[in-house]
Copies of this chain bind each other. A is one copy, B any other.
Amino acid sequence: MSSEGARVWLIPDGFIPEESSGSQESHEAICVLNTSAEEARLSISFYFEDREPIKNVEVAVPAERTRHIRTDQLGGAEIPRGVPYAIRVESSVPVVVQCSRMDTTQAALSLMTAMAHPVER
List the interface of chain A (C-beta within 8 A of B): 4-5, 8, 10-15, 22-24, 29, 31-35, 47-50, 52-53, 64-68, 84-86, 88, 96-98, 100-101, 103-119
Copies in the complex: 4
Q: List 20 A-B contacts (CB under 8 A).
A: A4-B10, A4-B88, A10-B35, A11-B96, A12-B66, A12-B98, A13-B31, A13-B68, A13-B113, A14-B66, A15-B68, A96-B117, A100-B112, A101-B111, A106-B107, A106-B108, A108-B108, A113-B114, A114-B115, A115-B116
Assess whether B114 is in contact with A111, with CB atoms less than 8 Å apart: no
Measured between beta carbons, the chain B residues less than 8 angstroms from A13 are: 29, 31, 68, 98, 100, 113
- A13-B29, A47-B66 given; 11 more Cβ-contact pairs under 8 Å: A5-B117, A12-B96, A12-B97, A12-B98, A13-B100, A23-B105, A33-B88, A48-B66, A100-B112, A114-B115, A117-B118
Measured between beta carbons, the chain B residues less than 8 angstroms from A68 are: 12-13, 15, 49, 84
